[in-house]
């Protein structure tokens, strides 16, 4: 059986920690390096319920996308959820490894998995990372094209169908009848990259956690640019504001990574270590919203 340290080395070859943003701290969060690993569970969030399910399934290692300790933490006692999670994991000999922004940027990582499942072709990273050792382009987000143009509404419905169900649903901003072909995707909170999306020439931007003011400002900027184009080119065809916006549930779009990660990690362990591990996907909905009311 491989040890936890050996499996972590494989994970960090697939999803290098050097790809992580400066503010991020992915990697091994809980675990004893010499302990054996036979079963790896995958889940979007290391909630108490997810950890209990991983233990119930006999996992020796839980791989999550979201960090357990996202901000400074001064205690992990049984009086707070972080302490409960850490205690449960150690008590049941289950480690926790987090692939966050490093997995976002990696080949066959979070961004590429979402873009592939949405049907994008001719893809490139939205924010490239220069890595001479990488065999494939890497970086945050993806930009690509649909094989055939769709209306914004039709594409948004396709995105919603690909995502696991949540009560939050999918929100769309823009002309729902406009045709879209070039698509930018950034799983997770994406309103800090509007400039990069505009520069990419995308017709629509698929991301999460769009707040009122940044989203409104981005749409108003797009409308302003469309009016200027129409005046310059004397054509109403230029009046469509681009990019339109599709706002998705945060954990739902990021969980698309596991369509790749389960097989990729198991195959890499076998190829690198000559040993096998079982993998299991905890598909539990960890989106916080329990009800969405449309009055």
Residue 102 and residue 11 in contact, taking contact as beta carbons nearer than 8 Å: no
Q: How far is residue 11's CA from residue 15's CA, in Å, rounded to a whole number?
A: 6
The answer to whether residues 37 and 158 belong to one domain is no
Q: How far is residue 114's CA from residue 133's CA, in Å, rounded to a whole number?
A: 24
Q: How far is residue 248's CA from residue 227's CA, in Å, rounded to a whole number?
A: 28
Please, what sign has the CA dihedral across residues 27, 30, 33, 37? negative
The answer to whether residues 54 and 117 belong to one domain is no
The answer to whether residues 221 and 199 belong to one domain is yes
What's the pTM value of the predicted model, to 2 decimals? 0.94
How is the beta sheet containing 138-151 ordered, strand by strand?
120-129, 138-151, 179-189, 204-208, 244-248, 171-173
The answer to whether residues 63 and 83 belong to one domain is yes
- Continuous segment of H or E residues that includes residue 43: strand 39-43
Task: Give the domain range for residue 173.
Answer: 107-248
Q: Tell me, yes or no, whether 235 lies in a domain.
A: yes
Q: How far is residue 70's CA from residue 24's CA, in Å, rounded to a whole number?
A: 8
Please, what sign has the CA dihedral across residues 156, 162, 163, 164? positive
Q: Tell me whether residue 60 is annotated as binding.
A: no
Per-residue pLDDT in tens (0 to 9) along the chain, 295 residues: 999 999 999 999 999 999 999 999 999 999 999 999 999 999 999 999 999 999 999 999 999 999 999 887 888 888 899 999 999 999 999 999 999 999 999 999 999 999 999 999 999 999 999 999 999 999 999 999 999 999 999 999 999 999 999 999 999 999 999 999 999 999 999 999 999 999 999 999 999 999 999 999 999 998 888 888 877 776 655 568 899 999 999 999 999 999 999 999 999 999 999 999 999 999 999 999 999 998 7
Residue 245 and residue 174 in contact, taking contact as beta carbons nearer than 8 Å: yes
φ, ψ dihedrals at 96, nearest 5°: -130, 125
In 3D, which of 242, 247, 248, 229 has the Cα closest to residue 178?
Answer: 242
Q: Tell me, yes or no, whether 285 lies in a domain.
A: no
The answer to whether residues 37 and 142 belong to one domain is no
The answer to whether residues 42 and 66 belong to one domain is yes
CATH number at residue 81: 3.40.1390.30
The answer to whether residues 213 and 150 belong to one domain is yes
The answer to whether residues 116 and 239 belong to one domain is yes
Q: Tell me, yes or no, whether 286 lies in a domain.
A: no
The answer to whether residues 156 and 258 belong to one domain is no
Q: Tell me, yes or no, whether 199 lies in a domain.
A: yes
Q: What is the residue-wise DSSP string for 118-171? A: TTEEEEEEEEEE--TT-SS-EEEEEEEEEEEEEEHHHHHHHHHHHSPP-SS--E
Q: Domain count for the chain, please give it.
A: 2
The answer to whether residues 24 and 89 belong to one domain is yes
The answer to whether residues 116 and 176 belong to one domain is yes
64-94 confidence digits (pLDDT tens): 999 999 887 888 888 899 999 999 999 999 9
How is the beta sheet containing 95-98 ordered, strand by strand?
27-30, 95-98, 61-64, 39-43, 278-281
Q: Tell me, yes or no, whether 294 lies in a domain.
A: no
Q: Tell me, yes or no, whether 166 lies in a domain.
A: yes
Q: Tell me, yes or no, whether 214 lies in a domain.
A: yes
Q: How far is residue 9's CA from residue 7's CA, in Å, rounded to a whole number?
A: 5
Q: Tell me whether residue 136 is annotated as binding.
A: no
Q: Tell me whether residue 65 is annotated as binding.
A: yes
Q: How far is residue 45's CA from residue 135's CA, in Å, rounded to a whole number?
A: 29
Q: Tell me, yes or no, whether 160 lies in a domain.
A: yes
The answer to whether residues 164 and 232 belong to one domain is yes
The SS3 call for residue 186 is strand
Q: Is residue 188 left, alpha or beta, with left meaning phi > 0 and alpha meaning psi from -120 to 50?
A: left
């Amino acid at each position: 059986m491989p040890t936890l340290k050996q499996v972590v080395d494989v994970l960090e070859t697939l999803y290098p920690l050097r790809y992580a943003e400066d503010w991020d701290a992915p990697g091994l969060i809980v675990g004893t390096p010499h302990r054996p690993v036979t079963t790896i569970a995958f889940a979007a969030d290391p909630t108490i319920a997810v950890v209990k399910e991983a233990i119930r399934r006999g996992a020796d290692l839980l791989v999550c996308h979201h960090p357990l300790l996202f901000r400074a933490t001064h205690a992990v006692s049984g009086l707070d959820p972080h302490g409960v999670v850490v205690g449960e994991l150690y008590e049941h000999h289950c480690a926790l490894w987090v692939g966050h922004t490093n997995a976002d940027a990696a080949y066959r990582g979070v961004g590429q998995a979402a873009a592939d499942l949405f049907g994008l072709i001719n893809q490139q990273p939205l924010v490239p990372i220069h890595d001479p050792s990488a065999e494939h382009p890497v970086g945050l987000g993806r930009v690509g094209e649909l094989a055939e143009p769709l209306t914004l509404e039709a594409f948004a419905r396709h995105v919603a169908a690909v995502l696991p169900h949540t009560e939050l649903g999918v929100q769309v901003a823009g002309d729902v009848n406009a045709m879209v072909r070039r698509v930018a995707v950034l799983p997770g909170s994406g309103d800090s990259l509007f400039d990069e999306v505009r520069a990419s020439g995308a017709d629509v931007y698929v991301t999460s956690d769009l707040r009122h003011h940044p989203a409104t400002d981005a749409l108003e900027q797009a409308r302003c640019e469309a009016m200027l184009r129409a005046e310059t080119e004397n054509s109403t065809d230029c009046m469509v504001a681009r990019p339109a916006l599709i706002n998705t549930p945060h954990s739902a779009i990021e969980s698309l990574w596991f369509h790749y990660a389960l097989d990729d990690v198991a195959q890499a362990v076998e190829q690198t270590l000559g040993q096998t591990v079982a993998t299991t996907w905890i598909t539990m909905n960890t989106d916080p919203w329990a009800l969405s009311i449309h009055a």
